[in-house]
Amino acid sequence: METLGQAYPATFEVDRAERITNWRPLVQWLLAIPHFLILEGLQLVARAAAFISWFAIVFTGKLPEGLANMLCLYIRYNNRAWAYAGFLREEYPPFVFDPVSPDPGHYPVRSAFAPELENRNRVTVGFRLILAIPQIIVVIFLGVAAFVAWVIGLFAVLFTGRWPEGLRTFVVGYMRWVTRVEAYIGLLTDAYPPFRLD
């Protein structure tokens, strides 16, 4: 099990698959389509929750727990769908909508959060999108590299049934970085995401 990046209030872990059936990368993206359709709806709800959270925090200094849990649900569901479509795991992700910040742990792809509900920094929340610009730029460039790693990983799994360790570590690290940035932009935390993959 990979347990890196535990210090930040948003974590992402993927249990290592010893072997992946060679043909799975060719079809898993197709099998994930129902999850991506659900994600479209969840994303709309999560963006609305983040928008309402922005006003709540700026005016009261508090993040309502229900809004925080909705954002946690979206990020967790997103991570499970992408880890499956990206053939990091073979197990089909459950259609589970647990609106809780700690991950229930019933799937080998886990995202846990420690949302800050009280005493929020209204100034950094007010300028959150501006403050997040450097992170967004880095995530875009890393996303291009992660796409290349996924393509190389596709061929490696097709021929060997295993991810090359360095490529897998990079892809999981990229997904961890995106999880942190999503939590920061989604106003779950005031802690600025670190510029690292672990």
Whether 5 is in a domain gets the answer no
Whether 168 is in a domain gets the answer yes
Token representation of residue 120: 């929020």
Q: Which one-letter DSSP state was computed for residue 27?
A: H
Q: What is the structure's pLDDT at 179?
A: 97
Q: What is the structure's pLDDT at 1?
A: 35
For the whole model, what pTM was predicted? 0.91
Domain of residue 87: give its range: 10-185
Q: What is the structure's pLDDT at 101?
A: 73
Whether 1 is in a domain gets the answer no
pLDDT per residue over 128-152, tens digit each?
999 999 999 999 999 999 999 999 9
Whether 2 is in a domain gets the answer no
Whether 180 is in a domain gets the answer yes
The count of domains in the chain is 1
- The closest of 187, 180, 185, 184 to 197, measured between CA atoms, is 180
CA distances from 157 to 20, 102, 118, 178 (A): 7, 32, 46, 24
Whether 195 is in a domain gets the answer no
Please, what is the average pLDDT of the chain?
Answer: 93
How far is it, in rounded angstroms, from Cα 88 to Cα 61?
A: 39
Token representation of residue 30: 């197709």
Band (100; pLDDT cuts 50, 70, 90): confident
- 61 in the Ramachandran plot: left (φ > 0), alpha (ψ -120 to 50) or beta? left
Whether 191 is in a domain gets the answer no
Whether 177 is in a domain gets the answer yes
Q: Rounded to 5, what percent of the chain is helix, strand, coil? A: 60, 5, 35
Cβ contacts of 147 within 8 Å, gap of 6 or more: none
